[in-house]
Chain A
Amino acid sequence: MWGLLADPWVDPTTRRALLEVVLLGLAGGPLGCWVVLAGLSYSAESLSHAMLPGLVLAALAGAPLLLGATGGLLVAATAVALAGRLPGIGRDTGVAVGVTTLFGLGVLLALARDTPAGLGSLLFGDVLAVSGADLWLAGGLVVVVLAALALAHPTLLVAGFDPGVARALGRRPLAADLALALLLAGTLLVGVQQLGNLLVVALLVGPAAAARLLTRRMPRMMAASAAFATAAGMAGLYASYHLEVAAGAAIAAALAASFPAALALRGLRTAVRRPTPAGTPHSARAA
């Protein structure tokens, strides 16, 4: 049994991968709560998919993926913004058109005859190829995201709860939107290299959606989301080691599985509480 638990971490490669997913979970878990509550899950998924051409071009040119992802993200954000402004086209349609076009372009580039193989690592990431520089980058991301969320907490809370009144309460909803968009872009840029273009959004959405099912207050939701994200990262690496499956995909599956797990946990909690006679009034409970 001990071997089952300890064996994966004998190899320094998996130890670095574990540290990376823990760091990404500590940043992506809490940020994901605001992404989910602000209704930005679709935008997060779209932006991560739309940066594929940038990633492919960077891979072809031998440039750092971070550079390609940044360029891809800028083009994607511009395309989405412009498509959404066309007369008679809503924002959702604009996002869908912009993202599908860019994703298709990325796949076209990646599958071209002269392109070296390697699309898989762009789409699904390569968490076992984490370098020291990647770990520093992820560590920096944790510091920036957590500090920004702590500073912006009152603004995000006021703008998210009641955007129409936010200005009267001295806060600008636009500032909250921009802060979230920048943090989201930064997390996607760092996370996409290890978790891949298709799977990085699972880090932001899965744990946060799971945490929402089990908590009723923002700080607890953020803590639970970080816990879900790091636990899922660890579970994914165990699955990858013992079942010999791709690490990035296993982590993404574990992140997504945190939602049905939380759903089951909530059902169990409700079933355990139900027999109490009369009990605490529903409106007075707080988790």
Chain B
Amino acid sequence: MMSAPPLVAADGLSAGYGTAPTVLHDVTFAVRPGEVCAVLGPNGGGKSTLLRVLTGELAPRGGQVTRPPLVGVVPQTERSRLDFPVSALDVALMGAVSRLPWWRRPARADRAAARAALARVGLDELRDATFGELSGGQRQRVLVARALVQDAPLVVLDEPFSGLDATSAALLQRLLGELAGEGGALLVATHDVGQARAWPLVLCLNRSQVAFGPPQATLTRAVLERTYGSDLVTLPGRGDVAVQQHHGC
């Protein structure tokens, strides 16, 4: 059987900000419908830059990018304004805006979709709560609900598990599996090497592409050392590796 064409692909992609030097070089990968791809890399390694190119926020400096016209996006919650007077439902409803012309306001059906999305992430009861007053995990789930309302074939998530409590992390893990099962493609920037092993594809970045492929082939000690350098630590006991986390992008 022929595999489906990639939903998102890059070929020799490079990117940077303004007049500053290029921060990401030579990235080549492809993700098909139903696949989850972990994006691993140290802080400053180019994960967020890649995601910004894929959402259209940043234009590539070189190479080719193929992406669907509509991309669902779950940013780090720190990038949202916590002092903004909006409810969880208002934020989820912003997902509907991406499908509307600029002069149209979300309709009743869009509100129903936003409520359904909040229910799916377990936050229906907190739909009227102010976004900035929710816990970090709850805010992350609201942003996931917003991406669900976008109803995009590709969803990119920037360190969505960062700072999540165990309940929220389990719920998010299950939700990502469901979305992939429904035919969506997902790119998830993460620091968790163990988690990346559970997904079909891994893209390792350290200012340029270190490796791309299934975790069995990519998550070798040599690749991880080239990806993380001195941030890689060996766990006592079985010899597993983990990444020392420094907060940042």
Report which A residues bind B (CB closer than 8 A): 37, 151-155, 157-158, 160-162, 164-165, 167-171, 175, 212, 215-218, 220-221, 282-286
Min Cβ gap A246→B in Å is 35
* CB-based contact B73/A282 at 8 Å: no
Q: Are B75 and A171 in contact (CB under 8 A)?
A: no
- Chain B residues near A161: list those with CB within 8 A: 80-81, 84, 86, 91, 94
Whether A212 contacts B85 by the Cβ 8 Å rule is: yes
Question: Across the interface, do B73 and A168 meet the contact criterion of CB distance under 8 Å?
Answer: yes
Q: Which residue from B55, B81, B102, B125 sits with its C-beta under 8 Å from A160?
A: B81
Contact status B80-A283, CB under 8 Å: no
Q: Do B79 and A171 have beta carbons less than 8 Å apart? A: no
Would A283 and B100 count as touching, CB distance under 8 A? no
- Cβ of B130 under 8 Å from chain A: yes
Q: Closest residue of chain A to B77, judged by CB?
A: A162
**Complex formed: what's the CA distance from A164 to B58 in Å?**
10
Q: How far is the CA of A169 from the CA of B81 in the complex (A)?
A: 16
Q: How far is the CA of A165 from the CA of B71 in the complex (A)?
A: 11
Which residues of B are found within 8 Å of A157, using beta-carbon distances?
86, 90, 94
Task: Say yes or no for B112: interface residue by CB 8 A criterion.
Answer: no
B94–A169 CB distance below 8 A: yes
CB distance from B158 to the nearest CB of A (A): 10
A220 vs B85: C-alpha distance in the bound complex, in angstroms?
9
Find out whether the CB atom of B98 lies under 8 angstroms from the CB atom of A170: yes
Q: Which of B73, B75, B99, B128 contacts A284 (CB 8 A)?
A: B128
* Choice from A37, A168, A220, A221 contacting B57 with Cβ under 8 Å: A168
Could you list 5 A-B pairs, sorted by A, with CB under 8 Å? A154-B102, A165-B73, A168-B57, A171-B98, A283-B135
Q: In the assembled complex, which residues on chain A have CB atoms less than 8 Å from the CB atom of B240?
A: none
**Is there an interface contact between A165 and B55, defined as CB atoms closer than 8 Å?**
yes
> Mask for B57-87, Cβ within 8 A of A = 1, else 0?
1000000000000011101000111001111
Bound-state CA distance A215–B84 (Å) is 11
Contact-residue size bin, chain B (C-beta under 8 Å from the other chain): 35 or more
Which of A152, A168, A283 touches B56 (beta carbons < 8 Å)?
A168
With A161-B80, A169-B95, A171-B97 known, 9 other A-B pairs at CB within 8 A are A153-B105, A154-B94, A154-B100, A154-B102, A162-B80, A215-B85, A218-B86, A284-B126, A286-B87
Partner of A168, one of B71, B91, B106: B71
Tell me the nearest residue of chain A to B84, going by C-beta. Answer: A161
A282 to chain B, nearest CB (A): 6
B57:A217 contact, CB within 8 angstroms: no
> In the bound complex, what is the Cα–Cα distance between A100 and B246 (angstroms)?
44
Contacting pair B130 A216 (CB below 8 A): yes
Cβ-defined partner of A167 (8 Å) among B56, B87, B91: B56
B150 within 8 A of A: yes
With a cutoff of 8 Å between Cβ atoms, the chain A residues found around residue B55 in the complex are: 165, 167-168
- In the assembled complex, which residues on chain B have CB atoms less than 8 Å from the CB atom of A221? 85
Contact between B133 and A283 (Cβ–Cβ < 8 Å)?
Answer: yes
B233 interfacial by beta-carbon distance below 8 Å: no
B179 at the interface (CB under 8 A from A): no
Cβ of B116 within 8 Å of any chain A Cβ, yes or no, is no
What residue of chain A has the Cβ atom nearest to residue B83's Cβ? A37
Chain B residues within an 8 Å CB radius of A175: 102
Given the complex, which residues of A lie within 8 Å of B75, measured CB to CB? 162, 164-165
Q: Which 7 pairs across A and B sit closest by C-beta, in order of nearness?
A: A168-B55, A170-B98, A168-B73, A169-B98, A286-B128, A283-B133, A154-B97
Which residues of chain A are within 8 angstroms of B103 by Cβ–Cβ distance? 151
Query: For the complex, what is the distance from the CA of A160 to the CA of B86, rounded to whole Å?
Result: 11
The answer to whether B126 touches A217, judged by C-beta atoms less than 8 angstroms apart, is no
Q: Which of A154, A164, A283 contacts B134 (CB 8 A)?
A: A283
